[in-house]
Copies of this chain bind each other. A is one copy, B any other.
Amino acid sequence: MGSTPRRGDTRQRIQDVALELFAERGYEKTSLREIAEHLEVTKAALYYHFKTKEDIVLSLFQDLGRPLDELIVWGEQQPRTLETKLELLRRYSAALDIGEPLMRFMQENQATVRELSIGQIFKNRMFAMSALIRDPEAPMVDQVRSVTALFSMHARMFALQAIEGNAEDKRKAVLEVALDLVKQAHASSAHG
C-alpha cells in the first residue's frame, strides 16, 4: 500500500534509523528532526517512544549490547584456559558482526559516548572483556598482546579498508591474527 502505516513497530524503526544515522554522521550532528524526517513522522512522535535523545542511544546500547553482556557472563563462568580465551575471541568476532553498527558508532563517537551516561557502562564492558582475555600476572608484553588481540578486531571496520579482498576473508584473517596473539601471550607466559 505504499505508505502503509506500520503499527507497533515504530519504536524499533526509530532505533534502526537512529543507529544508522548516529553511526554515519555522528551523534551530535544527527538531529531528532533528521531522524523524524527519515521516518516520516514528527519529532514529537519520537518523544512518545523515548524520553530524550540520549534515551535512544541508551536503548540501542542495551538492546544491541546484550550479546556482549552474555558473552562476558559466559566467559566468567568458564575456566581460565587458553581454549576459553580463543573461544571468547571467536564469539567476540561473531558478536561484532551482529552489533557492527553499534560498535562503529561507539568507535567513532568516543568523545561523545564518554559524556553520555552509557560511557561508564561501555568502559566497564571493555574492561571485563579485557580481564577475561589477559592474565594480570603475566609480563606486560603478553598482556598487551592479549588486549591488542581484542582491540585489533575492531580494526576491520576501517583500518583494513586499504587491503583488497572480500569482507569475509578479512574477518577470518583478523580473527586468525587475534587468535595467534593470544596463543603467543599464553605460550610466553607459560614458559615464564
Within 8 A of B (CB), among A111-161: 111-112, 114-115, 126-127, 130-131, 134, 136, 140-141, 143-145, 147-148, 150-152, 155, 158-160
Say which residue of B25, B28, B151 sits within 8 Å of A26 (CB atoms).
Answer: B28
Q: What chain B residues lie within 8 Å of A162 (beta carbons)?
A: 126-127, 130-131, 134, 147
Within 8 A of B (CB), among A152-174: 152, 155, 158-160, 162-165, 169-170, 173-174
A144 near B164: Cβ-Cβ < 8 Å: no
Which residue of the partner chain B has the closest CB to A185? B177
Say which residue of B111, B112, B144, B169 sits within 8 Å of A174 (CB atoms).
Answer: B144
Counted per complex, copies of this chain come to 4
Stretch at the interface among A57-65, A66-74, A82-90, A102-110: A102-110
A151 near B159: Cβ-Cβ < 8 Å: yes
Any chain B CB within 8 A of the CB of A7? no
Q: What chain B residues lie within 8 Å of A26 (beta carbons)?
A: 28, 109, 111-112, 115
Interface of A is mostly: helix
A115 near B25: Cβ-Cβ < 8 Å: yes
Whether A28 touches B25, Cβ cut-off 8 Å, given contacts A144-B163, A144-B173, is: no
Residues of A near any B CB (own CB < 8 A): 23-29, 105, 107-112, 114-115, 126-127, 130-131, 134, 136, 140-141, 143-145, 147-148, 150-152, 155, 158-160, 162-165, 169-170, 173-174, 176-177, 180-181, 184
